[in-house]
Amino acid sequence: MRKVSAEDEFEFDNSDDTVTPESAAADLDLWRAEMVAADLEREKAEFLGGEGEVRQSGDAFGVEDAEAEVSLPADFDSWNADQRESWAFDPYLHRHELKERKRLFFAWESTKTAKGPAVVTNLVPRFRVLDRDDLDNLPVAVEMIGGVLPAQGALTVIAGSFGFGKSLITLDWSGTISTPALTSWYSPDHPVNSHGLVLYIAREGFYGIPKRVRAWEIEHGHRLDDVKWMPDPIDLKKPADAADLKFIAGDLGAVLIVTDSVRATGAGAEDTADMGAYVKGLETLTGAGFAVISPHNTGWDTSRPRGSTVLPDAADTLFILEGGRNPGDIRMLRHQKHRDGEPITKGLSFGFKEIPGTESGVLVPATATALTSSTPASNSAAMRLAKNVARIDAMKKKPLNYRDVKDALKCRDDTARTAWNEWKRLNP
């Protein structure tokens, strides 16, 4: 056993780290969270006391007992490995947090003086308190895609039935944000204001991703080199998985994280308890400044995401995708919620364009000239949509409601709803 001194500050795999009061304060937050999850005194004794020769009492960071001596075994890594079984209850014990634990401990110990508390009071507080002038000096939040996706640090949920094209739209957003040469999405009315690397968690239909990527690249003329893929299982209800993902995204320098889908990345039973824990995981990511997009299915009620309302309540932006799952069906994307911007309530219409040689395709604006005679199904769908819209327009009963429209059109619910949404878009 030996005392930890200032010379030991970065002895253990920390030579490239610079400790500041701000970084130490951020690490204190992680440590405090651990203490809540376990028995405080037991954790403190095991970590700070080593083999029990010296114990740290009072506050875990020396506020109440600042002059207490703290000892660790000389070989911290070996000792730490020996403690793995006794720390099995700790949800934060994983490879990234171990490094952070070492960095925090040696930074704190090496900067501790006889007065102790003075060091602690120099740290940035856990919670900020802003005055009126601070509000005027806050940075302006700029939407990543104007009128579509909110700023970084926000959560976007896109919900729709299976096969409607949620992943195609999410891939399109990812490709657009990761490609600086693309300056707008869907139309010039929606400029791209933020570009950067995208981390895409592809837990549904991963083996179809290469086909979709090739189709997108052919359509747009750019490679998706700045979209990185995670195909492995992850459960964002678990704090350790969420923290791991946060560190990975930070190491990559990502600006956007896609969790495709909510079900496949840990939503569990999708009840209030599971969805609440899942949202906490998402907030670990948004709280670190990442934009997050989470595709999710609708249930029997196709006007809202399936499961607990915790997820849509937490979302800064919520999209509903309507339409159909056949190649010829027109899809309609609209905001149900867009917290800090003007929502798209009339909808953006999309048609499926098959890309030869890829066994896949892309969604493009339904009015785009890209829907050529090479895609007769899409043309047929566009013509059917136009005919249905004309029939709605000719209805004498006013004001119109969806039930009357569906009865008049005598067609499937998704076809009638798409026509109804298009009519509303054209007749604000």
Cis preceding linkage at 343, omega within 30: no
Q: What is the pLDDT of residue 23?
A: 62
Amino acid residing at 150: P
Phi, psi of 82 (to 5 degrees): -65, -25
CA atoms within 13 A on the CB side of 56: 24
State yes or no: pLDDT of 161 exceeds 60: yes
Confidence at residue 92, expressed as pLDDT on a 0 to 100 scale: 39
Instruction: Identify the residue with better confidence: 331 or 424.
Output: 331
CA 173, 176, 181: angle at the middle one, nearest 5? 170
* Cα–Cα distance measured from residue 156 to residue 120, given in angstroms and rounded to the nearest whole number: 38
Residue 320 near residue 312 (C-beta atoms within 8 A): no
The 10 Å Cβ neighbour count of residue 240 is 17
Q: What is the mean pLDDT of the chain?
A: 75
More confident residue, 57 or 16: 16
**270 conformational bin, left if phi > 0, alpha if psi -120 to 50, beta if neither:** left
Of 89 and 271, more confident: 271
Give me the mean pLDDT over the 323-338 stretch.
Answer: 87
Task: Please tell me the predicted confidence (pLDDT) of residue 347.
Answer: 84
Q: C-alpha angle with apex 276: 270 to 279, nearest 5 degrees?
A: 100
pLDDT range class, residue 344, cuts 50, 70, 90: confident
- DSSP at 306: S
Residue 303 has pLDDT above 80, yes or no: yes
Q: Is the pTM of this model over 0.75?
A: no
User: Per-residue confidence at 225, pLDDT binned at 50, 70, 90?
Assistant: very high
Q: Which amino acid is at 177?
A: I
Confidence of residue 114 (pLDDT cuts 50, 70, 90): very low
Domains of the chain: 2-121 (no CATH), 155-367 (3.40.50.300)
**pLDDT for position 152:** 92
- pLDDT value at residue 22: 61
Distance from C-alpha of 119 to C-alpha of 62, rounded to nearest angstrom: 10
Q: Would you place residue 382 in the very low, low, confident or very high pLDDT band (cuts 50, 70, 90)? A: low
Cα–Cα distance measured from residue 350 to residue 386, given in angstroms and rounded to the nearest whole number: 14
Q: How far is CA 53 from the centre of its chain?
A: 45
The two structure tokens encoding residue 193: 């204001």
| pLDDT above 90 (res 400) | no
Over range 267-286, report the average pLDDT. 96
Out of 55-64, 181-190, 319-328, 418-427, least confident range: 55-64
Q: pLDDT band at 401, cuts 50/70/90?
A: confident
Helix axes 376-394, 413-426, angle to 10 degrees: 70
Of residues 403 and 148, more confidence is placed in 148
Structure tokens at 112: 């501790």
